[in-house]
């Protein structure tokens, strides 16, 4: 799916049910998330991040942080405790508006829309910390690699980059043991994306907004960070944020 389609999908999902779009628990579909409970899940994720970093002797802190694919600011607000300014950036205007309406949760946050495959609001070597969770998994790998390369540009030397990304399908799941499972999934997404394009021109064609799930194999990500970009990978930890069907990792890397 190209970025324009991705944006249209998230815009429409966020208009219908922003909290469920971020945390897609079936029991909470249709506006059933309690907002306080929803935002509390973000505090837990950031506490867990601090403890993972603490085990590597790393403390969060600095002037500027980015939360990429921030949604409604679930993680941006608790992250902002550690920084002078914490930018939440997202492709969907509706997500950014929702977060901006709740700035009392984190007055040091700034939420902005980022539409392209580059981090257009940020100067070279201007950011101390960048984070992303459950966002790259919805983006085609070709764009994810472009974003990773641009984080290489915007992070200061010594800056920290922590992000989650699925690596491959979980081979232990029965449904993943069917032949060509990943190829079939990709084909299915491609068909849906093509259908969406036609639906724009031919309104009698029904096509719903959807999430695409993507993965990049762990070894390829590590090689890309270390050989194409200028990161030293400090740790790659299991992080099952993409649901049980996927093996997903948290990458912790420092800009050289």
Ligand X SMILES: C[S@@+](CC[C@H](N)C(=O)[O-])C[C@H]1O[C@@H](n2cnc3c(N)ncnc32)[C@H](O)[C@@H]1O
Place of tokens 């996927």: 246
Q: Report the residue number, 22 or 250, with the smaller CB distance to ligand X.
A: 22
132-171 positions binding ligand X, by CB under 6 A: 133-135, 138-139
Q: Report the residue number, 75 or 253, with the smaller CB distance to ligand X.
A: 75
Q: Report the residue number, 92 or 160, with the smaller CB distance to ligand X.
A: 92
CA nearest to 83, candidates 119, 53, 127: 127
CA nearest to 98, candidates 163, 11, 29, 26: 11
108/166 Cα distance (integer angstroms)? 30
CB 17 within 8 A of CB 35: no
How near is the Cβ of 96 to ligand X at its closest, in Å?
Answer: 9
CB 234 within 8 A of CB 254: yes
Q: Report the residue number, 5 or 170, with the smaller CB distance to ligand X.
A: 5
Q: Interface with ligand X by CB under 6 A: which range of 25-33, 90-98, 191-199, 217-225?
A: 90-98
- By CB under 6 A, tell whether 91 contacts ligand X: yes
In sequence order, the 6+-apart residues with CB closer than 8 A to the CB of 244 are: 170, 173
- By CB under 6 A, tell whether 71 contacts ligand X: yes
**Which residues of this protein are in contact with ligand X, per CB under 6 A?**
3, 6, 10, 22, 69-71, 74-75, 90-92, 95, 114, 133-135, 138-139
């Amino acid at each position: 799916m190209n970025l324009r389609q991705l944006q249209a999908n998230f815009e429409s999902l966020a208009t219908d049910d922003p909290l469920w779009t971020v945390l897609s628990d079936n029991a909470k579909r249709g506006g059933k998330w309690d907002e306080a409970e929803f935002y509390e899940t973000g505090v837990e994720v950031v506490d867990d991040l601090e403890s993972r970093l603490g085990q590597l002797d790393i403390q969060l802190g600095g002037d500027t942080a980015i939360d990429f694919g921030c949604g409604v600011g679930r993680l941006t607000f608790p992250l902002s405790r550690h920084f002078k300014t914490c930018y939440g950036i997202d492709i969907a205007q509706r997500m950014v508006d929702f977060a901006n309406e709740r700035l009392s949760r984190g007055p040091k946050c700034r939420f902005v829309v980022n539409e392209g495959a580059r981090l257009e609001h940020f100067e070279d070597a201007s950011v101390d910390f960048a984070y992303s969770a459950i966002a790259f998994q919805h983006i085609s790998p070709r764009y994810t690699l472009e974003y990773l390369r641009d984080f290489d540009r915007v992070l200061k030397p010594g800056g920290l980059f922590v992000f989650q990304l699925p690596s491959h399908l979980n081979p232990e799941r029965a449904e993943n043991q069917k032949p060509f499972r990943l190829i079939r999934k990709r084909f299915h997404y491609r068909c849906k994306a093509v259908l969406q394009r036609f639906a724009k021109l031919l309104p009698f064609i029904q096509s719903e907004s959807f999430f695409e799930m993507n993965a990049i194999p762990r070894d390829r990500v590590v090689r890309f960070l270390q050989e194409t970009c200028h990161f030293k990978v400090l740790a790659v930890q299991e992080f099952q944020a993409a649901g049980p069907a996927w093996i997903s990792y948290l990458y912790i890397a420092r800009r050289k």
